[in-house]
Amino acid sequence: MTDYRPPIREMQFVLQHVVGLERLAALPGGEAVETDLVGHVLEEAGKLAADVLAPLNRVGDREPARLDNGVVRTPPGFREAYRHYVEGGWNSVPFPPDHGGQGLPWVVATAVQEMWNAANMGWALGPMLTVGAVEALAAHGTAEQKRLYLPKLVSGEWTGTMNLTEPQAGSDVGALRTRAVREGDHYRITGQKIFITYGDQDWTDNIVHLVLARLPDAPAGSRGISLFLVPKFLVRSDGSLGERNDLRVVSLEHKLGIHASPTCVMAYGDNGGAIGTLIGKENEGLACMFTMMNNMRLDVGIQGVALAERAYQHALGYARQRVQSRDLGSRSAEPVAILRHPDVRRMLMTMKALTEATRALAYSTFASLDLANRLPPGPEQAAMAARADLLTPVVKAWSTDVGCDVASLGVQIHGGMGFIEETGAAQYYRDVRITPIYEGTNGIQANDLVFRKVGRDKGVAARAFLAEIREIAVDLAAQPGDDAAVVGRALGAGHDALEGATDWIVASSEGDHRHAAASAAAYLRLFGIVAGGAMMARQICAAQRALAVQGSDSAFLETRIAVARFYADHVLSQAPALVHPIVAGATSALALDDDRF
């Protein structure tokens, strides 16, 4: 087993030179965004990830969470690891000081979140849900809800969950049947929810469930859904815990991966109804929940990046150690480490390039979110909000697709041993496979991109991003060296392909929606590849500038250049070929009658 090495140097390079952390530092309240402080935060987070969480990763896979007399027991060591996490103040990193947070930018918290997930995704899912619950409650909760619950959630003393899915509804949230009945200043909740991550655990003395339910007189469909705060233990006005609420875990799901994470079937109201309080307004629960969902979708994108990084490190370690066959570049017949074999090097470079591109795009999107939150109202603030909104489905879907591809390559590099559980390579593939599914499947993300993010505003936000890509390509063309020229030309071709496809999407989204939907996945993939190419172009520009500085780390910087060049040659070069299935592939995708499949 290869130990996890937090890629702090790579993260800092992206934050400083690709994302541009100095923009945030220059804004009011940005004093905390100081390079040395951010470096210290990453270093300390890396210690917890590598020394505490990573050693528990295989433990949780082999000894999964279990339901014991109605109580969920997490794997050995998980509870103690969570205590270290809370004592270190890690849950509070991105939240405002008003609620006990540290006020650091989301983009810094994102780098930290990547380390948690790379070290131990099954453990990291618990804190991730709490972060989303804080966002929803801070945006839509009442003053009393914020007073009673936010300090405990921000500190991590309590955890939060999200309860959407039901057995008959799946992704069609409008079909849910969980009911809420008014009773004085609260509501009685009855119903069943499935796929509830960390619906129960043995870490904290209370859990705050955010539950979607329908009032008896509510309109049909998604317009009639409300959001409720339903604690495991009721909370008195002084903040102390009262009686156990009427909710329970019915069972735990048996899953392909993330065995350590308890995925619960939850029952509400077996004995008269669980007591909940309304978040936001009646029948506007889906809008409130989407505050949490948008946060979660970006976090899931980071999980794709994290598992890609972990799978890459694991495969690289194996490739250095596994000796087999002679070196094609040598006359010696002596076998060498498989790292010397060209096809293994190609796979490793693919893993590395895709991981770096998705990381940079995810960090860049979170930085846009930070700017949107911190800039004064005006055109620039609106532009940053639109950019973050546009890129959210791309980060979620493309990064998780990449995570699966990279983890699969990791298994392939191990050869037959990759199919054997003892090597550990298979766990990363099994764990990451959920990420294209939850928080809205990647097909849903593609439709969101096509219809809501591009079609709805007639491509305004997309074309603004295309202008950004064009500017990066022009800047790269002015850089010296063959590598810069190759990346610049590939980015220019990618820009043209995405621009043409965007024009088609805008026109098609106004016509037969089935055709636009059939092309949506290919369009999102094209968008991700080109957006990732823009990030790699920024990387090569920054690396070349840094190389000109005396005393710079030439090996590290030259690696950044080589990886960007590889991305241009092997990934970005695919962009023009994706235009055809987007603009001409819908007819064949929809050609068969139902009974001919």
Residue 168 in this model has a pLDDT that exceeds 90: no
CATH 2.70.50.30 fits 159-285, yes or no: no
Give pLDDT, residue 569: 98
Residues 54-64 pLDDT 10s = 999 999 999 99
Neighbours of 317 (CB within 10 A): 16
Residues 388-428 pLDDT 10s = 999 999 999 999 999 999 999 999 999 999 999 999 999 99
Residue 115 pLDDT grade (very low, low, confident, very high; cuts 50, 70, 90): very high
Instruction: Please state, in angstroms and rounded to a whole number, the distance separating the CA atoms of residues 269 and 553.
Output: 61
Instruction: Please state, in angstroms and rounded to a whole number, the distance separating the CA atoms of residues 371 and 369.
Output: 5
Q: Are 228 and 133 a contacting pair, CB within 8 Å? A: no
Give pLDDT, residue 251: 97
Q: Are 42 and 344 a contacting pair, CB within 8 Å? A: no
Give pLDDT, residue 511: 78
Residues 281-323 pLDDT 10s = 999 998 888 887 888 999 999 999 999 999 999 999 999 999 9
The closest of 497, 454, 505 to 473, measured between CA atoms, is 497
Give pLDDT, residue 1: 66
Residues 336-367 pLDDT 10s = 999 999 999 999 999 999 999 999 999 999 99
Residue 271 in this model has a pLDDT that exceeds 70: yes
State mean pLDDT over 103-126.
96
Residues 519-550 pLDDT 10s = 999 999 999 999 999 999 999 999 999 998 87
Instruction: Please state, in angstroms and rounded to a whole number, the distance separating the CA atoms of residues 323 and 154.
Output: 49
Choice among 439, 468, 499, 558 that is catalytic: 439
The closest of 3, 78, 18, 15 to 42, measured between CA atoms, is 15
User: Can you give the pTM of this predicted structure?
Assistant: 0.96
Task: Say whether 439 is catalytic.
Answer: yes
For 195, the 3-state DSSP assignment is strand
Higher pLDDT, residue 132 or 45: 45
Give pLDDT, residue 331: 86
Give pLDDT, residue 555: 95
Residue 372 in this model has a pLDDT that exceeds 90: yes
Give pLDDT, residue 320: 97
Domain coordinates in residue numbering, the chain: 159-285, 442-589
Beta strands in 150-307 (DSSP E): 159-163, 179-183, 186-197, 207-213, 226-231, 233-235, 241-244, 247-252, 263-268, 274-279
